[in-house]
Amino acid sequence: MVGGGRGAFIGAVHRMAAALDGQIELVCGAFSSDPERSKASGADLFLPAERVYATFAEMIRKEKERPEGDRMDFVSIVTPNHMHFPPAKMALENGFHVVCDKPVTFNKAEAEELVYLVDQTDLLFALTHNYTGYPMVKQAKAMVKNGELGNIRKVVVEYPQGWLSTRLEAEDQKQASWRTDPKRSGAAGAMGDIGTHAENLAEYITGLKITQICADLSTFVSGRSLDDDGNVLLRFNNGAKGVLHASQISAGEENDLNIRVYGEKGGLRWHQMDPNTLVTRWLDRPIQVLRTGVGELYPEALAAARIPAGHPEGYLEAFANIYRNVAFCLQARLAGKEPDPMHLDFPTVHDGLRGMQFIERVVESSASKEKWLSF
């Protein structure tokens, strides 16, 4: 692991998710840019001192020197955005597979270089857009893919939060500090942090690609350097139209990522805060409420569920589905076999590049007098 030391939020989430299915073991790490903090964090996690490193470069170099079968198999990168690219690049160049938090890099040029490296090395690269891991999201994707909704016409995806309704970064709150800092977060604030989740979810469920955008970004909190609210009109490659809204100043909201998809025959709705439920509506029959693990669901949805119906599965389990699929694919690779296509169902470096293109074009569109920009 790179990053995720004491005081970090997302690192602990990754560790819990990776460990959930018993397929992955944390064996080493460079947990902080401060070598002493990295050492202390490694001790917290009961790692042997010789496998807790001062820098990611030292970790990659020394792990590569270890005998095959005794070295790390892949690197998990859980740092702020500006530090995704350097360890990912070095890991790929040294033959290590990568799991990386989103957005994939600090800017589009870095993402393009990672795409080139992954394509050249044929190594696994997973991006943790974890919302794609929910069983009912996979059910929604399968329903669209199998034509149950007919040709898709409209997509509405929203991600409202309220935690940055005040200038929390001025209070030295760690998460707020780096997420609102253009030197660490990148060109966008809310739109980069959570808008990319909405963009990815819309493309994942529908199987469509966004081709044009018209964006309006705002910074409502005085003194903040990056956007904290944004609205984007979308056009898709099949002619469908859409709306994407991402906000971190929607006071009182928690993490209400939700999506509605409408086709010729019917529509569906999924809310992240009620993840076991998928509501479908039809032109010619009553509303249908689908639940995780109940009834005739698609194999993709069934494979993503772990426990009997009625027992809540949520954020960590969805995260874990990405890690589990990576583990199964890596196990197949190590055995000289082709991975099961179902296990290849996780966001990749190419999805990461889509996210960086989205951020770049949204920021450009919002500042431009042009109404629509190609994406």
For residue 10, give the nearest of 371, 315, 221, 335 by alpha carbon.
315
Task: State what percent of residues in the chain have pLDDT above 90.
Answer: 96
Q: What are phi and psi of 63, to 5 degrees?
A: -65, -35
Burial of 161 (0-12, 13-18, 19+ CB in 10 A): buried
For residue 236, give the nearest of 77, 375, 65 by alpha carbon.
375
Residue 189 above 90 pLDDT? yes
Q: 243-288, pLDDT tens digit by residue?
A: 999 999 999 999 999 999 999 999 999 999 999 999 999 999 999 9
369: number of Cβ within 10 Å: 4
Q: 40-66, pLDDT tens digit by residue?
A: 999 999 999 999 999 999 999 999 999
Banded pLDDT at 312 (limits 50, 70, 90): confident
Average pLDDT over residues 289-296: 94
Tokens of 264: 């010729």
Domains for the chain: give ranges and CATH numbers. Answer: 10-123 (3.40.50.720), 134-307+353-367 (3.30.360.10)
Strands 97-100 and 125-127: parallel
Question: pTM here?
Answer: 0.95
Q: 138-156, pLDDT tens digit by residue?
A: 999 999 999 999 999 999 9
**Alpha helices of 45-167 — where are they, by DSSP H?**
56-65, 85-93, 108-121, 135-145
**What burial letters (b/e) apply to 216-225, b meaning 16+ CB within 10 Å?**
ebebebeebe
| pLDDT of 196 | 97
Write down the residue that tokens 């069934």 correspond to: 302
